[in-house]
């Protein structure tokens, strides 16, 4: 078990008072998770890195508006979600954002590498995720990879819990069919 000498809540309070070092420590704890979330959302490493920087800058600037430090994670991911979709809108302003899938993940999702899993498995997962709708994919990312609760996901995505559940259940059915088919 890992004990943190300073909890996130303390760092948030110090950072809100203008302590840059406290905020840097907070960033170091969250940057990898936020980056991977944005990487899977945008399917582009440069975009994900730029957005991650923007997310933390906005978080620093608006930290005083966060009343409850315990809600930091969903608050941060909400900023990340909004930043990503703001970028999608800027790039394709004529389209409906809901119809903007962050398409090919060929540059966005790492397969194989140092993973203990075979590369074919990672490829199969990347392919299965690509075939989901953007909303379903984001629900899977937030739940499976980021470990948020339904209520937190609803806050991040600004939609009802029932919608989150519907997206996630549909996505799970599709993924199950592809990744865990019934043996004949």
Partner 1 sequence: MSCSPFDLKDYFLEELGGAERKEVEAHVQACRSCREELNRLRLTGTTLLSLREEEIPRRIAFVSDPVFEPSLWRRWWMGFWNTPARLGFGSAALLSVALVFFAVTRPAPVQPVRLVQAPAAPAMPAPLALSAAMEARIDQAADRAVATRTQQLVAEVAAERQRLLMAATEVEFANKRQHAFYMSAADYGPPRPAVEAK
For partner 1, the binding residues (CB under 8 A) are 18, 20, 23-24, 27-28, 31-33, 35-36, 39, 45, 49, 52-53, 56-62, 65-68, 71, 74-75, 78-79, 82, 109-111, 113-115, 117, 121-122, 124-126, 129, 140, 143-145, 149-151, 154-156, 158-163, 168-169, 172, 175-176, 179-180, 182
Q: Which residue bears the tokens 């920087």?
A: 53
Residue whose pair of structure tokens reads 């969250």 in the numeric block: 30
1 to each of 4, 28, 131, how far by Cα in Å? Answer: 10, 19, 37
Q: Which residue's CB is nearer to partner 1, number 94 or number 181?
A: 181
- Rounded-to-integer distance, Cα 101 and Cα 98, Å: 8
Q: How far is the CB of 96 from partner 1 (least distance, A)?
A: 21
For the bound state, the minimum distance from the C-beta of residue 143 to partner 1, rounded and expressed in Å, comes to 6
DSSP 42-77: HS-HHHHHHHHHHHHHHHHHHGGG---GGGHHHHHH
Taking the complex as a whole, the smallest distance from the CB of residue 13 to partner 1 amounts, in Å, to 15
Q: How far is the CB of 80 from partner 1 (least distance, A)?
A: 11
């Amino acid at each position: 078990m890992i004990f943190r000498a300073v909890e996130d809540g303390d760092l948030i309070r110090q950072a809100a008072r203008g302590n840059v070092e406290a905020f840097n420590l907070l960033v170091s704890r969250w940057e990898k998770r936020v980056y991977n979330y944005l990487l899977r959302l945008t399917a582009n490493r440069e975009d994900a890195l730029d957005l991650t920087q923007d997310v933390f800058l906005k978080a620093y600037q608006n930290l005083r508006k966060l009343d409850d430090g315990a809600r930091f994670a969903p608050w941060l991911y909400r900023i990340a979600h909004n930043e990503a979709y703001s970028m999608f809108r800027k790039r394709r302003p004529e389209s409906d954002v809901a119809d903007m899938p962050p398409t090919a993940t060929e540059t966005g999702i790492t397969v194989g590498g140092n993973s203990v899993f075979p590369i074919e498995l990672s490829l199969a997962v990347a392919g299965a995720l690509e075939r989901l709708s953007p909303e379903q994919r984001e629900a899977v990312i937030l739940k499976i990879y980021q470990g948020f609760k339904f209520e937190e996901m609803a806050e991040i995505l600004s939609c009802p819990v029932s919608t989150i559940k519907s997206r996630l259940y549909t996505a799970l059915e599709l993924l199950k069919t592809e990744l865990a088919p019934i043996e004949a």
